[in-house]
Amino acid sequence: MLREGSTLRFGGPLTNAVKLLITVNTSIFILQWLLEIGGMSPGGFWSYFGLTPARLIGQGMIWQLGTYLFFHADVFHILFNMLALWMFGSDVERQVGERKFLLYYFFCGIGAGLTIVLTSLSAELLGWAVSGFYAPTIGASGAVFGILLAFGMLFPNREVLVFFLFPMKAKHFVVLFGLLELYLAVPARGGGVSHFAHLGGLLFGFVFLRYERHMERRYHHYKLRKREMLLRHQVEEELSRDEFIRKEIDPILDKISRHGMGSLTRRERRTLKKGKPRRW
């Protein structure tokens, strides 16, 4: 819950991207629930759409880095994530815009997924007794933690009521949760929650917010360079064509004007065809 002055509120009116994400996540959860009622085990589609590092690496299931964000284990899992997405995401989207919000959300979510893969692969190679390399991870928590970080950086002095009771500035709230996740990331303490995903969402969110302008400048510079190379290629192509016409076509045209078309050799006729204007 957020507090502005003496006013308590949640996330305010739903913004477009937040509404879309909540709708898609909820729809998939309902479909998943209906399939379970029909007798289908959730493990079947979790192993295919959830993020399982062993299957992603061994079988090339790269889509799992995106699809795992839309599946949830139970009602409380999806309720917590969607509530947090609404509470913090709507203000962030109003600040940065719909397009950049969605880009940021998936950047954090996929980044959290990469963090899961790297940490579980490292644990597997080191022989640590953890099951994360073969077990699927599901849920939007990594992306949601990225949204939480963005809220703390964009509205650092906005008050958040922790557990609906204790007021705390957003910047302190983010630091507290980051330290808590770091503490809980130790396998013996983590239970069934992928705290490395939460840390990955925070880390990739920080990278995006810290270096986004630099990356955007580099991207625009790349686009300008690409456009410049294309124009240069077109100019060189036109110059080459002009040179071809001057050296090859003009003498043939002069020959036609003096002796007629019948005087052309087969090679000269082929050359003349090459010099016809191109259709665009």
- Angle, helices 266-274 vs 250-259, to 10°: value is 130
Buried b / exposed e along 19-35 (16+ C-beta atoms within 10 A): eebbeebeebbeebeee
- Residue of 132, 129, 168 lying closest to 57 (CA atoms): 132
The answer to whether 84 and 170 have CB atoms below 8 angstroms apart is no
d(CA 89, CA 68): 19
Neighbour count for residue 100 (Cβ, 10 Å): 17
Catalytic residue from among 120, 141, 194, 195: 141
DSSP bridge partners of 9? 2
Non-local CB neighbours of 199 within 8 Å, separated by 6+ positions: 115, 145, 178, 181, 182, 185
Q: What does the alpha-carbon distance between residue 207 and residue 71 come to, in Å, rounded to a whole number?
A: 26
Active-site residue, from 198, 233, 240, 259: 198
Q: Which has the closest alpha carbon to 120: 107, 131, 111?
A: 131
- Does 141 qualify as catalytic in the annotation? yes
- Which of 258, 255, 280 is CA-nearest to residue 271? 255
Pairing label, strands 2-4, 159-162: antiparallel
**Is 198 among the catalytic positions?**
yes
**Catalytic residue ranges:** 141, 198
